[in-house]
Amino acid sequence: MTARLYKMPHPDWKIKLLSTFSSQYTGGGDEALIDGIQGEGNWRKGNWQGYQTDLECIVDLGKEQEISQISADFLQDSGAWILFPTRVEFSFSTDTIHFSNPKAVKNQITANDYHVQIQQYSSTIPKQKVRYLKVKAVNYGVLPEWHAGAGGQAWIFADEISAQ
The helix (H) or strand (E) run that includes residue 71 is strand 55-76
For the entire predicted model, the pTM comes to: 0.94
Q: For residue 82, which amino acid is it? A: I
Give residue-wise pLDDT tens across range 61-110.
999 999 999 999 999 999 999 999 999 999 999 999 999 999 999 999 99
Contacts of 10 (CB under 8 A, 6+ apart): 34, 36, 61, 62
Question: For the domain with range 17-163, which CATH number is right: 3.40.470.10, 3.40.50.300, 2.60.120.1190, 1.10.10.10?
Answer: 2.60.120.1190
pLDDT band, very low/low/confident/very high, at 4 (cuts 50, 70, 90): low
